[in-house]
Amino acid sequence: MDAGAVAAALEDARFDARQNSRFEDLADDVRGRAELAEWERIEQLLAAAPAGTLYDPDTDPVVRTELEADAAAAAAREADLRDAARIAARADELQALRDLGTLDQAEPAEGDEAVRDELTRRAGGYVLADVDAWLAHALATHRGHYHAPAAREEAAGLLTPPILAHAALLTELARLVPGAHADELAFAARLATAEPEAAGALAAFLTRAHPDR
């Protein structure tokens, strides 16, 4: 578009704005005001450009920025959808293992903290004790994804206080009694669930029994 065409479009937008202002139901026409502001911006853009410059939206920095923002938002939505699908599929997998009673055989994977939240949501907010215990044991024994220190550190901000307290207590109890069977340590889950702060304090106290740490 040349400057003349832009000027004509601007005048049309101004005319529409004046007409709308006469009617109460159109006085707050947000779209019309935005269109008018955009034509005013384009007119100013051409006024600052060399004479004879044509307006091209492909070279308009504002338009390009908006298109890039739209593309980034679309990509983010696609990523969210893929992540949601992955979480749902993993939740189905862990749910099936729970039903079979073989959840403890599963290796924790990246993102299982979000999967735990999804399973809890599916259960209507009910805390799934076996899932929480599975995560606590995996965290305490550095199993699967939790073999990496960075993953364990990240989990500290994603898992609930009872799970973290349970894991910390299991870690210290295993140091005190190496080879203790999981059934012997079932009390740790009950303590962490009922009194997570007390369980965490106990784990910290037991840590003092290992000055080499």
Mean pLDDT calculated for residue range 27-34:
74
The residue type of 61 is P
Highest mean pLDDT among 3-7, 52-56, 144-148: 144-148
pTM (2 d.p.): 0.68
Distances from the Cα of 187 to the Cα of 170, 190, 199, angstroms: 10, 5, 11
pLDDT digits (tens, 9 = 90+) for 64-111: 999 999 999 999 999 999 999 999 999 999 999 999 999 998 999 999
**Integer Cα distance of 22 and 14 in angstroms:** 13
Closest CA relative to residue 120, chosen from 97, 81, 85, 91: 91
**Integer Cα distance of 28 and 32 in angstroms:** 9
List alpha helices for 142-213, DSSP H: 149-155, 161-176, 186-194, 196-207
- How many contiguous H segments (helices) and E segments (strands) does the chain have? 9, 0
Distances from the Cα of 70 to the Cα of 65, 67, 80, angstroms: 9, 5, 15
- The label of the residue with tokens 């500290």 reads 156
The residue type of 177 is V
State CA 16 to chain mean position distance.
44
- The label of the residue with tokens 């012997």 reads 184
**Integer Cα distance of 90 and 87 in angstroms:** 5
Amino acid 46: pLDDT? 86
**Integer Cα distance of 189 and 159 in angstroms:** 15
Q: Is 162:196 a contact under the CB 8 Å cutoff?
A: yes
Mean pLDDT calculated for residue range 135-145:
94
pLDDT digits (tens, 9 = 90+) for 5-27: 888 988 888 888 887 777 766 55
Structure tokens at 209: 């029994």
**Integer Cα distance of 106 and 138 in angstroms:** 10
**Integer Cα distance of 32 and 59 in angstroms:** 24
122: left (phi over 0), alpha (psi -120 to 50) or beta: alpha
